Each structure stands twice: as C-alpha cells, then as structure tokens.
Structure 1
C-alpha cells in the first residue's frame, strides 16, 4: 500500500514522505489516526505543501539544535498532576502535558517529537527523549509533582 505521511511516524518517516507499507498497517493504524493519506496522482501534488510546512517548523541548523539540546538537558521540567493515595496519578502524564511544561521554560517543542518510554502514572523522576533534529536527540528530566 502506497501512502503519503501527514505526520511524523517513528521508524517510518516524516510528513511528506511517500512510503510503501503493508495493507493492514496502513488501513488499521496510519489512515484512521490521520497519520497518512492514500497516494494518488492528485495527492502527490500535496507533498510539496506538506514538506514546506514541515520545513517552516523544523530547526534547520545543527548548531541551533545542539544549543536547544543543551538547554533542555540542563533543566528539570516539573509537571504538576492530580494524585490519589500513594502518589498514584489520576490518569497518566501525556506528551501534551510535557510539551506545555516545556513551553513554560521558554522552549517550544512539538509534542510529536516527544517520546515517552513507559507510561508515567506516579509521582517521581523520569527521563523522556525529545527529537530536536533528525541527528540530535535530547534526554529531558521530568519531575512529576503533586498539584497544589
């Protein structure tokens, strides 16, 4: 199945890339979540506009990316959350929560570039990775604290 990615998919590609995937993966995962659209000649013309939008959001310079990586790794991001007994959270910390906490530090990071290894469901210290640039990945320290 030939698809055009509209969002970044780990291990597959970035927006605007034309990829060939198995029919089940495309039909059951990529298409329902709007991560991709079917490739047609008409849709192929949209690839340029998708790539232009991606380039506008991307950090182009490797030096800027490494500077952002150093800034992110130097700070500890505090994420407040509602908790119950024993420090367990009501729900889990999402990438949107982390992205909004990073904005509080003055670093704007797209939530699709944040990767959480295991679900964060209790108070404590965690590490998440942020793909700042295709060649640069930052390990950010997250501290989940009880909301006041």
Structure 2
C-alpha cells in the first residue's frame, strides 16, 4: 500500500513540471510568423531565477491524498480521523512546495547594446550561454523577444 502511494505521488509530481521555455523552442502559434531581427553586442549577463507559472494544484492534491492515506494508517477511532486530517493538510502543503520548486527555472538577464545605439535587456531560460562582447541576434514577434547566436 505504501509503495503504491509513493508511486502515485511521484507520478503526480512529475506531471507538475512544465516544459522549459527555451529560446530554441517555438510554440505552434509562433511558427510561420514574421519576426523582426536586430543585431547587437552583449553588454552584460546576469543569472536570475524565473518563477514558476501559476500552479496546477496537482502537487497540493497529490500531497493531500498521500498525506491523508498515511495519516489514516496511524491510530484508531477519533485518533485515526485526526491523523488523517493532519496528514492531508501537511501533505497538501508539502505537495504545493514541491510543485512550486519543480517549476522554477534558471534564467539569464542579457543586456544587449543594439547596433542602433539602443540598450535593451531580455530575460530568458539559461539554455544557451552568452558572454559580454559577443555578437547576438534579437528576434522579436508578438511582444516576445529572444536572444540567440
């Protein structure tokens, strides 16, 4: 029974992870659209953490279910009911934190001195490394801009 609960929790938490928002990954609506391309030189690069998107609730629900199951196996009578409730609450809180942490991403804030003279900063997932002095391209479309080599 306990092994099954662990497998269910692991499956639920794996489902919480969102795919990375890579500068190399395009969503379907971004294909076959024109992008404005600007060029420039990297001025500076700073490591940042990209906060998780709004949570799905799967971590909270999965944790609460498993916590309730674990709490239900302790005690008897009114004590069992109390440990079931406490286990569900604690499991829900832990599951929420796990989902939140699983969806955090390492990112880069890249400041670029454009050839036009403008200075801009773009934040994106850290899937490609940039160094000051490098020549880069900025691709913009629909309010979204990404930096690439």
Q: How high is the TM-score relative to the length of structure 2?
A: 0.26
Q: How high is the TM-score relative to the length of structure 1?
A: 0.26
Which one has more relative contact order, counting CA pairs under 8 Å at least 6 apart?
2
Q: Could you say which structure has the larger radius of gyration?
A: 2
- Structure having the higher helix fraction is 2
